[in-house]
Each structure stands twice: as structure tokens, then as C-alpha cells.
């Protein structure tokens, strides 16, 4: 495809377009804003807006929108046209600096988790100039942050930007101690996205997929993923056509989609872009998810982003590859080749280890949802226990530093940070530990717990802020030291000894690890209602308020929104099950067993042997009674959900989910007894094995 370079970013108002089209002084002012976060002068904003509008109109846009990420996890947009009537029946196309930099959507219909009760419902959006504007559906989309008028943040973007500032500030302090004058440090992210593609016709026949995004019923297909023939397998032509189309759409928007392949489960695939700055990677992942759904529809597919669309085969996650680098292009999680660069690397590595250990709960919370509860700890995804994999080489170095003894094949001593060169850390992707939730992969960490439908902002807010805190503590200590090297040594050894328990290089899926983790005192927060209440613990509030990322009210609101979302999700699933049982499954069972019974009766009248029909009709009737009992039990539990959001979440987990599982078990055993033509919706083997 020779057109790719021309196509790439053609619908994005990126730096090269800005440089080409903006007057020099305006471009410089905008660039300064982008780099330093300084406010944009109204005069500058007006010129940028006007140039942006002309560019957008040339590319077919008629509308503009502030594109933002409310706490629902999806993106929100309200379109306004550029149109401005002139009073003489004619119109001109207008777009002012004020419209570019600030919007005023009605905040009252977005979740605010209690913030709305005490504050005004009005909110405003403000342009994040570091993320380029783009054109989607003939609309100029301006990536923005979303706040209430009294300043409470109502979105995921603002705290993400704040957490990036926090880690930048502390990392620059640390780098100064190594003699580096760095102005800005950014975290980088590459988000690998898993998804399922199924046929639209099958989807349209299943109420559970339509309303809850996953199958609430379904006996396992005779074949699942046991032959391991799908992973990296050759891609179905129809799917390949979808991928090509998706790539094209994403490239036009400036999203550098790079890798595509089949995943483990049938119908499951993955897309990974080239990494970028965290806020841009977040915007791009949101766009990628949206585009996947849109493009799928053009190919007769539906794209499922749910974490567990099908029982019995793998669910979908999103790997958050994360690193830290300087504005001078240095990756701070790259060990480097000299003792001094190794020393700096070890300090940053220690900061991450300390952060992950101290804020395990926050990382777990950032991936908590009803959907992801099906994955974590279910032998296909990392366990619900947060731990880190650093590989044998680094582990040996850490052991040597902590114990003061020689280590590794080379029997080298690393009793002192910066004294000798580290062994080469393999960047090799082939043999690394796939069962670890947080794996070091040579020059970055791969956090594998996020669910496929998640907005990655939350995870990165937690990570950035927790690591900022480690770095702050380190900088405080080292800035005051008389002998930097001695202090550095003492600090790294002490902190590694204190936080080593979070490192686990073995099989994270094993039962032994659960026991071992408990002995080490690591958290094992199995479900969302177990995890979310820890959000606002004293230490977590102290963390976020200290770094100016969240106020305590903002944290409380997020905890509440998370629990509410959990409760609503399970509620919808339970109601959908009840509807499908009473209106689809039971009637099908009655019809089919009725037919068998009539046939048996007719045959008996004629003196023909009919025990098969009789036996089968009896079995189906028996199971139907079980299903009806299950339905009634589920109904009564759903009707008894407590009012309080915390209590309700615990109740959904303890009472409603088991009742759902019981009802499902009865329905799934009926599915394999009832004739295919009589079953009311497509089953797993139909959905998963299309051509």
C-alpha cells in the first residue's frame, strides 16, 4: 500500500498540518502551550480555530464537537454545526477561539457519583491541545477535559493529565540528582486490544448479547480452543477485510495501528498500535474501540468488547504496556549499558516495585468491573492478585543487592548500585512469563489485568501517581544526602528488601501461588465489591491529594460510580436472563417436550414402542421444573436488593450471581436436550464457527 504515508493522519489536525497552515508566531505560541501546558491567549485561539475550521471544511466537516471521556468509560460528543445565519437568508461557516477552547455540555446526565448533589449540574469542557483534533463522521472532534463549574473533575482525562504532571515533576527531581536537566518526563503507553467478531445475524437473535454484551446462556460447543489452532492462525478472509478497513480508518485519524492477529479463542482477535504519550494512547484506544464497532458493522459483523462474551473459552483483555521517558528521548526503564545508567535504571525500577507493592489495591481497583470479574483469576487471565515479574536476570541482581552475595550464572556481585554493569536484560518476547499481571519486558512494563472494554485512563492514573509518590520519597531523601552514591545504595537496597514480596516469577495461574501470596500478605481482591471500597482508604486519599490528582470528594464519587455501575450491570443481566427464560427458553422446552409427548401418545395408541420420546420428554420436563425454580429464586433475589450502594454490591455478588449461575446451568442442560430447530436462539457452535 503505497498510499499509506499520504493517508496516515490525513483526518488529524496534527503538528505538520499546524506548521503548514498556522502563521509562524501562532504556531510557536500553540507549540509552547502543548509543551508546557501554558494557557492559550484568546488572540491565538481565534486564529487556530479559524484555520482549523477551514481545514475541517476542506475535509468534509460540517460540525464540530468537544470529544470527552465522562466517567461512563465511553466517549461523549454533542455536535454543533459551523453554520451561522446572517439575517439575510444566507449563512457563513464560523468557529471561534472560544468555541475551540471551551464548551458547555449539560453535565447533569453524566454520572457524577454524588458530586452533583452538592454542586451545580453545569459543566464545561476544555481543549487538551496535546491531543490532536480529528475528523470523524464529518465532525471536527476536539479532545477535551470535562469539569464542573466549581472545579470538580467529571471525566477521566483531567486526572490523567494531572497524574502525568505529577510523575513528570518528581522524575525530573530525581534525574537532576544524576546531573540531568530534563524539563519534562512523560509516561508512554501501547494498549493491545482484544476483541471478538461475530455475525450480525447471530447477534440480532440474542437478547443477552444485545442488552448485556455477553451470552448469559450457552452450553459449551463440542470444540473450543483446546486444539490451540486459532492463536496466530491464518485470518479468515472476511476478518482480514475488516482488519484492512479498520487499519485504514485508524491510520487516517493518526492512530498508528501496527499489529493484528488471531487470539486464543475462536473469533477472537487483537490489534496493537505503536505506543505514544499516555493521554494520546488513551484517546487513541477509545477511538480504536469505537472504530472497531463501526467498521465491524460494515462487514456484517458485530464487534464484542466485553471481557467475557462466552463461557468456557478465553475472555478479552487489554495489555497496558507502560514506560517512562524524557523529552530528550531517554527511556528510563531501559537498563542502558554503563554502571551509571544502570544505577539510574535500578532507582526507577525500584520506584515502580515500591509503587506496585504499596498500591496493589489501586491497580486492582482500576481494573475492577462486573465484566472483568469473570476473567481475573479464572485461569485464562492474570489472577486477582497483583504481582510483578522481572525475569531471572533482574531477580538475581535484586537478590545480590539485598543479600550482598554473588548472583547469577556469572556469579557477579551487585552489592553496590552502579559498581558493575548489569547483565544484558533480554528484550526477547518469546519466553517471558505470560501468567504475570505486571511483567517487565526489557524496557517497559506490561500490565495485563485491564479488561477489554476499559478506558485505560484509570489504570494509568493509578500507575503514574503511585510511581510519582515513590520518586517523591526518593528525591526527598537523596536531595538531602551528603554522599549521593552511598545514599542511593542504601535506599535501593532498603526499598528492594522491603518490597520484594511483590515480585513473583513463577506460574501466576497456580493454586500454590494463591497460598504463597497469602503468606506474603499480598491482597487477593476477588471481586469488584471486594476491591472498590479500598479506593478511599486513608493512604490512597493521602496519595491522590498530595499529588493534586483527586480531591477526597472526587475519589468518593469514583468509588460510588464504580459500585453503581457494577450493580446496574448485574441487574440488567439478571433481568435479561429472567426475560429469556420466561419468554424464550421455557416456551421452547414446553413446545418440544409437548411434541414428544403427543408423538408418544399417538404411537402408544397404535401400539408402537415410544419409550425414547417418553424418556426425553420426561427429562426435559424435569429440567424445565428446575429452570422454573431457578427463575423464581432469581426473581425473588433481584427483588430484594438492598438500597445502599455498598450493601447492594455485596448482595449482588453473594446472592444474585449464584442464582444466575444456577438458572444458567439448568438452561444450558436443556439446550443440549432440545432439538436444534426448536431452540429459540443461535448456540455457541453456530456463533463461534462461521465461515
Interface positions with ligand ADP (CB under 6 A): 188-190, 192, 259, 272-275, 319, 321-323, 331, 429, 443-444, 446
Q: How far apart are CA 172 and CA 489, in angstroms?
A: 20
C-beta closer to ligand ADP: residue 429 or 511: 429
Binding mask 397-416 for Mg ion (x = CB under 5 A): --------------------
CB of 190 to ligand ADP, least distance (A): 2
CB of 323 to ligand ADP, least distance (A): 3
Nearest to 187 by CA among 208, 169, 207, 210: 169
Question: Which one of ligand ADP, Mg ion, none is in contact with 320 (Cβ closer than 5 to 8 A by kind)?
Answer: none
C-beta closer to Mg ion: residue 272 or 534: 272
CB of 439 to Mg ion, least distance (A): 9
By beta-carbon distance, which residue lies closest to Mg ion?
A: 319
Q: Are strands 438-440 and 80-81 parallel, antiparallel or unpaired?
A: unpaired
C-beta closer to ligand ADP: residue 284 or 493: 284
Q: How far apart are CA 492 and CA 487, in angstroms?
A: 9
C-beta closer to Mg ion: residue 446 or 671: 446
CB of 213 to ligand ADP, least distance (A): 24
Question: Which one of Mg ion, ligand ADP, none is in contact with 670 (Cβ closer than 5 to 8 A by kind)?
Answer: none
CB of 95 to ligand ADP, least distance (A): 34
319 binds Mg ion (CB under 5 A): yes
Interaxial angle between packed helices 24-36 and 42-58, expressed in degrees from 0 to 180 and rounded to the nearest 10:
100
For the chain, report the end-to-end CA distance as a whole number of angstroms: 27
C-beta closer to ligand ADP: residue 24 or 429: 429
CB of 75 to Mg ion, least distance (A): 24
374 binds Mg ion (CB under 5 A): no
Question: Which one of ligand ADP, Mg ion, none is in contact with 49 (Cβ closer than 5 to 8 A by kind)?
Answer: none
Question: Among 187-195, 212-220, 237-245, 671-679, which window interacts with Mg ion (CB under 5 A)?
Answer: 187-195
299 binds Mg ion (CB under 5 A): no
Q: Which cell numbers in the block locate residue 169?
A: 515533576
Question: Which one of ligand ADP, Mg ion, none is in contact with 272 (Cβ closer than 5 to 8 A by kind)?
Answer: ligand ADP
C-beta closer to Mg ion: residue 387 or 441: 441
Q: Compute φ and ψ for 92, nearest 5 degrees.
A: -125, 165
Question: Which one of Mg ion, ligand ADP, none is in contact with 259 (Cβ closer than 5 to 8 A by kind)?
Answer: ligand ADP
Residue 611 near residue 619 (C-beta atoms within 8 A): no
C-beta closer to Mg ion: residue 192 or 613: 192
Nearest to 256 by CA among 244, 273, 280: 273
**In Å, how far are 252, 257, 266, 267, 621 from 261, measured between CA atoms?**
21, 12, 12, 11, 45
CB of 319 to Mg ion, least distance (A): 4
Question: Which one of ligand ADP, Mg ion, none is in contact with 186 (Cβ closer than 5 to 8 A by kind)?
Answer: none
Cβ neighbours of residue 67 under 8 Å, at least 6 residues apart? Answer: 75, 76, 77, 141, 142, 143, 144
Q: How many CB atoms lie within 10 A of CB 297?
A: 12
444 binds Mg ion (CB under 5 A): no
CB of 426 to Mg ion, least distance (A): 16
Q: Which cell numbers in the block locate residue 638?
A: 433481584
CB of 278 to ligand ADP, least distance (A): 9
Q: Compute φ and ψ for 193, nearest 5 degrees.
A: -115, 120
C-beta closer to Mg ion: residue 272 or 563: 272
The helices-and-strands tally (H runs, E runs) of the chain is: 25, 20
CB of 230 to Mg ion, least distance (A): 17
Q: Are strands 388-389 and 185-199 parallel, antiparallel or unpaired?
A: unpaired
Q: How far apart are CA 488 and CA 490, in angstroms?
A: 6
Q: How far apart are CA 507 and CA 672, in angstroms?
A: 36
Q: How far apart are CA 384 and CA 390, in angstroms?
A: 19
Nearest to 562 by CA among 658, 462, 680, 629: 462
Q: How far apart are CA 121 and CA 372, in angstroms?
A: 31
Q: Which cell numbers in the block locate residue 513?
A: 501461588
Question: Among 102-110, 234-242, 319-327, 679-687, which window interacts with Mg ion (CB under 5 A)?
Answer: 319-327
Question: Which one of ligand ADP, Mg ion, none is in contact with 279 (Cβ closer than 5 to 8 A by kind)?
Answer: none
C-beta closer to ligand ADP: residue 244 or 428: 428
Q: Which cell numbers in the block locate residue 423?
A: 547483565
Question: Among 189-197, 215-223, 293-301, 600-608, which window interacts with Mg ion (CB under 5 A)?
Answer: 189-197
Cβ neighbours of residue 23 under 8 Å, at least 6 residues apart? Answer: 47
Q: Which cell numbers in the block locate residue 1?
A: 500500500
By beta-carbon distance, which residue lies closest to ligand ADP?
A: 190
CB of 429 to Mg ion, least distance (A): 8
Q: How far apart are CA 237 and CA 93, in angstroms?
A: 43
C-beta closer to Mg ion: residue 192 or 263: 192
Question: Which one of Mg ion, ligand ADP, none is in contact with 275 (Cβ closer than 5 to 8 A by kind)?
Answer: ligand ADP
CB of 471 to ligand ADP, least distance (A): 17
Strand ranges, E, within 390-518: 406-407, 412-413, 438-440, 445-447
Name 257's bridge partners: 273
Q: Which cell numbers in the block locate residue 11?
A: 483526518
Binding mask 534-553 for Mg ion (x = CB under 5 A): --------------------
CB of 335 to ligand ADP, least distance (A): 13
C-beta closer to ligand ADP: residue 8 or 322: 322
Half-sphere exposure (Cβ direction) of 134: Cα atoms closer than 13 Å = 25
Question: Which one of Mg ion, ligand ADP, none is in contact with 443 (Cβ closer than 5 to 8 A by kind)?
Answer: ligand ADP
Interaxial angle between packed helices 657-671 and 552-580, expressed in degrees from 0 to 180 and rounded to the nearest 10:
30
Question: Which one of Mg ion, ligand ADP, none is in contact with 323 (Cβ closer than 5 to 8 A by kind)?
Answer: ligand ADP
C-beta closer to ligand ADP: residue 188 or 369: 188
Q: How many residues of this chain bind Mg ion (CB under 5 A)?
A: 2
C-beta closer to Mg ion: residue 152 or 192: 192
CB of 324 to ligand ADP, least distance (A): 8
Question: Which one of ligand ADP, Mg ion, none is in contact with 189 (Cβ closer than 5 to 8 A by kind)?
Answer: ligand ADP
Q: How far apart are CA 631 and CA 662, in angstroms?
A: 9
Residue 532 near residue 563 (C-beta atoms within 8 A): yes
Residue 50 near residue 100 (C-beta atoms within 8 A): no
- Please list the alpha-helical segments (H only) found in 178-236: 200-204, 207-212
C-beta closer to Mg ion: residue 69 or 193: 193
C-beta closer to ligand ADP: residue 166 or 191: 191
Name 438's bridge partners: 388, 447
Q: Which cell numbers in the block locate residue 316?
A: 478479552
Q: How many CB atoms lie within 10 A of CB 428?
A: 10
CB of 150 to ligand ADP, least distance (A): 36
C-beta closer to ligand ADP: residue 321 or 540: 321
CB of 421 to ligand ADP, least distance (A): 22
Residue 397 near residue 407 (C-beta atoms within 8 A): yes
**Interacting residue ranges for Mg ion, rule: CB under 5 A:** 192, 319
Amino acid at each position: 500500500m503505497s498510499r499509506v504515508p499520504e493517508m496516515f493522519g490525513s483526518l488529524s489536525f496534527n503538528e505538520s498540518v499546524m506548521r503548514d497552515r498556522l502563521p509562524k508566531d501562532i504556531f510557536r505560541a500553540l507549540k509552547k502551550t502543548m509543551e508546557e501546558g501554558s494557557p492559550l491567549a484568546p488572540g491565538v485561539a481565534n486564529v487556530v480555530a479559524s484555520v482549523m475550521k477551514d481545514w475541517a471544511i476542506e475535509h468534509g466537516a460540517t460540525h464540530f464537537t468537544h470529544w470527552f471521556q465522562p466517567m461512563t468509560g465511553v466517549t461523549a460528543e454533542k455536535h454543533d454545526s459551523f453554520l451561522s445565519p446572517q439575517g439575510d437568508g444566507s449563512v457563513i461557516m464560523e468557529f471561534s477561539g472560544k468555541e475551540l477552547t471551551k464548551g458547555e455540555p449539560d453535565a447533569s446526565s453524566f454520572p457524577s457519583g454524588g458530586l452533583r448533589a452538592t454542586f451545580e449540574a453545569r459543566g464545561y469542557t476544555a481543549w487538551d491541545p496535546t491531543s490532536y483534533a480529528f475528523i470523524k463522521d464529518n465532525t471536527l472532534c476536539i479532545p477535551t477535559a470535562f469539569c464542573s463549574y466549581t472545579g470538580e473533575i467529571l471525566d477521566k482525562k483531567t486526572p490523567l493529565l494531572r497524574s502525568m504532571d505529577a510523575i513528570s515533576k518528581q522524575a525530573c527531581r530525581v534525574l537532576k540528582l544524576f546531573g540531568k536537566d530534563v524539563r519534562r518526563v512523560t509516561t508512554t503507553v501501547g494498549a493491545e486490544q482484544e476483541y471478538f467478531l461475530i455475525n450480525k445475524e447471530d447477534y440480532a437473535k440474542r437478547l443477552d448479547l444485545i442488552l448485556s454484551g455477553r451470552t448469559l446462556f450457552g452450553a459449551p460447543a463440542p470444540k473450543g480452543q483446546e486444539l490451540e489452532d486459532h492463536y496466530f492462525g491464518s485470518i479468515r478472509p472476511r476478518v482480514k477485510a475488516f482488519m484492512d478497513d479498520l487499519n485504514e480508518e485508524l491510520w487516517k485519524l493518526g492512530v498508528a495501528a501496527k499489529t493484528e492477529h488471531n487470539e486464543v479463542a475462536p473469533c477472537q482477535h487483537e490489534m496493537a498500535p505503536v505506543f505514544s504519550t499516555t493521554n494520546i494512547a488513551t484517546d487513541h484506544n477509545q477511538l480504536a474501540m469505537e472504530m472497531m464497532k463501526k467498521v465491524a458493522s460494515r462487514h456484517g459483523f458485530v464487534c464484542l468488547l466485553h471481557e467475557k462474551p462466552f463461557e468456557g473459552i478465553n475472555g478479552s483483555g487489554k495489555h497496558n504496556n507502560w514506560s517512562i521517558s524524557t523529552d530528550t528521548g531517554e527511556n528510563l526503564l531501559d537498563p542502558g549499558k554503563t554502571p551509571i545508567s544502570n544505577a539510574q535504571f535500578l532507582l526507577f525500577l525500584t520506584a515502580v516495585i515500591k509503587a506496585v507493592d504499596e498500591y496493589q489495591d489501586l491497580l486492582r481497583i482500576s481494573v475492577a468491573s462486573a465484566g472483568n470479574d469473570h476473567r481475573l483469576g479464572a485461569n485464562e487471565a492474570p489472577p486477582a492478585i497483583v504481582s510483578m515479574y522481572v525475569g531471572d536476570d533482574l531477580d538475581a541482581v535484586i537478590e545480590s543487592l539485598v543479600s550482598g552475595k554473588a548472583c547469577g550464572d556469572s556469579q557477579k556481585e551487585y552489592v553496590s548500585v552502579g559498581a558493575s554493569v548489569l547483565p544484558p536484560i533480554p528484550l526477547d518476547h518469546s519466553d517471558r512469563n505470560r501468567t504475570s499481571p505486571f511483567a517487565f519486558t526489557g524496557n517497559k512494563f506490561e500490565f495485563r489485568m485491564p479488561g477489554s472494554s476499559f478506558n485505560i485512563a484509570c489504570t494509568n492514573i493509578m500507575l503514574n501517581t503511585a510511581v510519582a509518590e515513590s520518586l517523591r520519597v526518593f528525591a526527598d531523601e537523596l536531595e538531602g544526602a551528603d554522599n549521593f552514591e552511598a545514599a542511593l545504595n542504601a535506599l535501593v537496597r532498603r526499598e528492594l528488601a522491603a518490597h520484594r514480596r511483590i515480585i513473583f516469577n513463577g506460574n501466576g495461574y497456580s493454586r500454590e501461588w494463591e497460598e504463597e501470596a497469602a503468606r506474603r500478605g499480598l491482597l487477593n481482591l476477588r471481586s469488584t465489591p471486594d476491591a472498590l471500597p479500598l479506593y478511599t482508604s486513608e493512604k490512597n486519599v493521602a496519595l491522590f491529594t498530595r499529588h493534586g490528582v483527586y480531591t477526597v470528594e472526587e475519589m468518593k464519587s469514583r468509588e460510588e460510580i464504580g459500585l453503581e455501575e457494577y450493580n446496574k450491570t448485574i441487574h440488567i443481566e439478571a433481568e435479561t436472563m429472567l426475560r429469556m427464560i420466561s419468554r424464550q427458553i421455557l416456551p421452547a422446552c414446553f413446545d418440544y417436550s409437548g411434541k414428544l409427548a403427543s408423538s408418544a401418545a399417538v404411537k402408544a395408541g397404535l401400539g408402537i414402542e415410544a419409550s425414547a420420546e417418553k424418556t426425553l420428554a420426561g427429562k426435559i420436563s424435569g429440567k424445565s421444573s428446575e429452570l422454573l425454580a431457578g427463575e423464581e429464586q432469581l426473581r425473588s433475589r433481584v427483588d430484594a436488593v438492598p438500597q445502599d450502594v455498598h450493601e447492594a454490591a455485596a448482595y449482588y455478588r453473594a446472592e444474585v450471581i449464584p442464582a444466575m449461575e444456577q438458572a444458567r446451568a439448568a438452561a444450558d442442560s436443556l439446550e443440549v436436550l432440545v432439538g436444534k430447530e426448536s431452540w429459540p436462539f443461535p448456540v455457541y457452535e453456530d456463533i463461534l464457527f462461521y465461515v
